[in-house]
Amino acid sequence: MSLTSTPLLILAVCLAIGAPIGTYLLWNRARGPRPVRAVSRFGLIGLCQATVLLLVGLLVNNHYSLYASWSDLLGDDGGGPVAVHQATRPVTDLNQSGGNPPDQQQPPLGFGGPGSSAHLPPMPPNVPKPTFVPGGHGTQVAAFRGPLSGVGGNGGDVAVWLPPQYKDPAYANTHFPVVLLFPGYPGSPAGWFSVLGGGQVLGQMLTQQKATPFVLVAVNVNQNGQNLNCSNIPGGPQMATYIAEDVRTMIEANFRVSDHRTGWGLMGFSDGGLCAGKLLVQYPQYFRSAAQMAGDSTPDGHQVVHAGPQVVDQNSTLWLLTHHRPGPDTPISLLAAVSDQDTDSLPVAFQLQAAAPDIVSVSEHKHGAHNPEVWRSWLPEMYTWLSQHLDSAQPAR
């Protein structure tokens, strides 16, 4: 009987109903000394609670597709066959030597904000730099209120993880590529380094020379508990501007990182996957590549939906790839990682690839559902792919 099967759910309903009835019938039939009778009755109460918890757990699991099978629940975290459906256009604008990319033409206007050259404008001089303090799992964290968006400033807005090479004298003149990380909803930047082990996994890969050294920057995209889908809300929070303009410029001003679009990538899981995909298409002048794990293609946050269908479309990766794809001067690449057992996200990935086969690659996993253990197991593949689709970091010669 499979974890998500209807017979198991029916059995759980019957147990949840039958346990209280059985408790009522057996309550006064307990035999033995008083302590024994008390233990028996507590056992009956515990059985009732256990059956209710089982039913609630199954309903929640089926609704959110958290675990697709018993093996998934018991720790089979997404291993197994992987089919990679590559995009049709090869990478043409990357600099894998570690130096500066060649000068580029003025890129097209970003859908979510003002256009700019491949270099970002400098940090406004009247805006103080945030104070970074040690965080958990080798990170530095800061509260940061964006000067353009007005978003942030509540603490824990940004968490930064630096690769070991950052302090290596051989890399003293190297400007590192950056990957912005987005949690799902609800979620926080800290989850990227605690639950998913984003820095730990990358550190292991760097030791094995299987990835390029990235600076990882996790961003709080769920400000004040709101699911904004990383979008600019008319008359409301300007979350897309905060990420693409404020956070990116602040990181460049505070750390030794690339100032070219080809050195900046995006990655997220679940709702954060939508953020990564749609920001890539909205801001090709700032970002080169993105990886989304079990991400959606259309926003469903209350404020975005309430703003109307036009705002929903303008923040939908699928709509953007169909109606507002970047020009040839700013090529982009998107990897959509999904599992056959995650039935909500699976069709999304292939819809994105059908809309833009020259941009979107799909990594199709056989096993694994919609949960952090699965996404953590995918991280080595994501880091490898981003290493191939962003500028590399090499010791400066």
Tens of pLDDT along the chain (397 residues) come to 666 667 777 888 998 898 899 888 888 887 888 888 888 888 889 988 998 988 888 787 666 556 656 666 665 555 555 778 888 876 667 776 554 444 333 333 344 443 334 555 555 555 558 999 999 899 999 999 999 999 998 878 999 999 999 999 999 999 999 999 999 988 889 999 999 999 999 999 999 999 999 999 999 998 888 889 999 999 999 999 999 999 999 999 999 999 999 999 999 999 999 999 999 999 999 999 999 999 999 998 999 999 999 999 999 999 999 999 898 899 999 999 999 888 888 999 999 999 999 999 999 998 777 788 889 999 999 999 999 999 999 887 6
In the chain, the amino acid numbered 391 is: D
Q: Tell me how far apart the alpha carbons of residues 65 and 345 are, in angstroms, rounded to a whole number.
A: 10
Strands of the sheet containing 178-182, edge to edge, are 82-85, 360-365, 333-339, 289-293, 264-269, 178-182, 215-219, 158-161, 139-142, 133-134
> How many C-beta neighbours within 10 Å does residue 144 have?
27
Q: Tell me how far apart the alpha carbons of residues 266 and 390 are, in angstroms, rounded to a whole number.
A: 10
> How many C-beta neighbours within 10 Å does residue 309 have?
9
Residue 116: predicted pLDDT: 37
Q: Which residues lie closer than 8 Å to 271 by C-beta, 6 or more apart? A: 182, 183, 184, 185, 187, 227, 229, 295, 296, 301
Contact between 339 and 294 under an 8 Å Cβ cutoff? The reply is yes
Residue 68: predicted pLDDT: 57
| 238 secondary structure, DSSP code | B
pTM for this prediction: 0.79
Residue 105: predicted pLDDT: 35
Work out whether the CA dihedral 320, 325, 330, 335 comes out positive or negative: positive
Chain centre distance of CA 160: 15
Residue 90: predicted pLDDT: 65
Q: Tell me how far apart the alpha carbons of residues 236 and 230 are, in angstroms, rounded to a whole number.
A: 12
